[in-house]
Amino acid sequence: MAAHLVKLHAAPDLVERVYQALLDAISDGSLPPLARITQEEIAQQLDVSRQPVLQALRLLKQDGLVLDAPGRGVQVAPLDAAGINAVYQVRGALDALAARLAAQQAQPLDPALIERGRAAAAGRDVNALIDADIAFHSAVYAASRNPLIQRSAHLHWSHIRRAMGAVLQASTLRESVWDEHEAIARAIAAGDADLAERLMRRHGERAGEHMTRHLDAAARRAGGSDISTGDTP
């Protein structure tokens, strides 16, 4: 395992912090698909005991992000194009509904969300770009004033985060994504529910299509091997 993780200090939320550190490493490619992970190595790199690492790995396994490795330890799960496409179909429906509800209330979004996203798109920090994207969509969920939308979408963000990381490392669409976000925000602020819903739905469709094309191309470059885990996240 070649990932270099920053040491963590003890805290009540240590398991969640270990989980997030590993999820970030998986998302930005520091821990690529099939990379082997051991409790001892993670505990040493993060400067924590093995117990929070064990619990974090159990959560990652429960989420389908790591699998049992042959012999000992666990390994990062392969990226599953079919599963990611299924997640994006659900996300697209939720996002479109959230945009419609937010626009019905003409609820303006914080312009700093777009500024943060464009700044991240101009940089090289993949996790910062993912965080900015998640912040924008979370703001739309909050503006919808329907708490069930955000809770439902949250179930899929770990898989979406990972797929976004895989694509954004080499993506040429970083800036256009934020053009789309800005257009959605304007439609919401203007109270145009039909336009906001349509733009958000198309935004999700384009993102999902781009993700699956990237993953399919990666599989072909690897020799046509099956990258599916056999399970849909």
Identify whether the C-beta of residue 32 lies closer than 8 Å to the C-beta of residue 76: yes
Overall pTM surpassing 0.85 (yes/no): no
**Which tens digit of pLDDT belongs to each residue from 18-61?**
999 999 899 888 898 899 999 999 999 999 999 999 999 999 99
Q: Which pLDDT score, from 0 to 100, does residue 15 have?
A: 92
Report domain extents, the chain: 14-76, 81-221
SS3 44: helix
Phi-psi group of 224: left, alpha or beta (phi > 0 → left; psi -120 to 50 → alpha; rest → beta): left
**Which helix (H) or strand (E) is 134 found in, with range?**
helix 126-144
Low-confidence ranges of the chain (pLDDT < 70): 1-2, 7-12, 167, 169-172, 222-233
Going by the DSSP 8-state scheme, the letter that residue 109 receives in this structure is P
Q: Which CATH architecture has domain 81-221?
A: Up-down Bundle (1.20)
CA distance 24 to 36: 16
Identify whether the C-beta of residue 130 lies closer than 8 Å to the C-beta of residue 161: yes
Q: In the structure encoding, which two tokens stand for residue 141, read together?
A: 């969920």
CATH number given to 14-76: 1.10.10.10
Q: Which pLDDT score, from 0 to 100, does residue 99 have?
A: 98
Residues 192, 195, 201, 203, CA torsion sign: negative
Least Cα distance to 37 among 6, 7, 66 occurs for: 66
